[in-house]
A and B are shown apart, each in its own frame.
Chain A
Amino acid sequence: MHELSLAMEICRIAEERAGHAAPRLVTVGLEVGDDAGIEAANLEFCLETLLTLPPFRGARAAITRAGGDGLRVSYLEIDDDGPDD
């Protein structure tokens, strides 16, 4: 139920780490713990929507399941050939 809040925080982290390359972000790699109390499909849906909004231009979320109750942004993929604005 709180996946939207988490998705917003993930977007904040992605924007911070990608910096001016945020519009060229293509993938957000996530690690979702089995006991994190997170519905992965729901989180993906929320991210799909948020990652179309500026500064992003339609990045996708790549979710990997892990043990434990953590949720981490593991990596970002940036398209270095894409336009900056």
Chain B
Amino acid sequence: MTNVFDKHHAASDEADIEQMLLEVGARDEPAPEMMRQAQANVHAQWRAMVEERRRRRRSFAWGIAASFALAVVAATLGLRSLAPDVSPVATVVQVDGQLLASTSNQPWTAQPLGQQLAIDDSLMTNDHSRAALSLGHLSVRLDRNTQATLSAPNRITLTTGALYIDASPEAPATALTVQVQGFLINHLGTQYQVRTQGKDIEISVREGRVTFEHAPPAHSSDGEFGPDGVGQGQAGERIRIAATGEISRDALSPYAQDWQWAAAAAPRFDIDDQSLSTFLAWFARETGREILYASPAVQVMAGQIQLRGSIEGLDLDTALDAVLATTSLRSVQASEGSIRISLAQEPTP
């Protein structure tokens, strides 16, 4: 039962809300014409998605029957399919600028995020574009002015430009071979980049080891290749293979300028609901810098802090500062290649 006081209170409450809304004014509205155009475009994509789902469901239903029949036929005849493999081998996970792709000399088309790529897809970036692909446990990044082809499920042929390979520790050593100018390069659980310099090749190893060999393998007498015709590159090395076959090496730190483009092309790291230590491990892997915790307690704390928000559009150092600013920890550059994480109020050594 409502009494006079309740009615008065409700009326006053409604008046407050009315006054508040009049004070803040109406919200911005998109122009009707703009909205109609956008609605038509989004609607077309939505219909395409719905149709694709229906098609897949139909294919799945037919596929069950068809695969059973195929299995019977295959078992009977013992035939192996000779059809070309068109199953996706890579996914576009980051594009800064434009990533173009073409198959079998078809026109080049821009590839959106999430696009799946298949064998024989050729890829190209221009002088203001970079991109990153995901291949299972591997991250492959294309620098500016790069052309490469997905020539097999585990092989990329680099024509020009540079590729950066980040193989997570669980990636098998045979996960990916880069073919470039007559050489095959394999990783042994590592981060490395391959760059063409005219007719020369430059292989830089950030972590782990890589092997390189002629394609097809051939023996060399200059001592750079082992008895099996395979050369090796270690972490911190840059190997230049000249068109003449001459090989030279020099040192390259994991945080050198040469790696910065790969960090800029890295797939987005979504910090929402991640622990601070996960973010710091990602930061360390992308920058090549080591994270040093001031104490075990600080390390434990970093594992317990859950992050919220976004680091979209921020470079890595700014992202680190922005993330730590929301915690009771801070970072100090301990050396050129390491960062020390300590309590904000802790004196620096």
Q: Do A and B bind each other?
A: no
Write the residues of chain A forming the contact surface with B, with a CB cutoff of 8 angstroms.
none
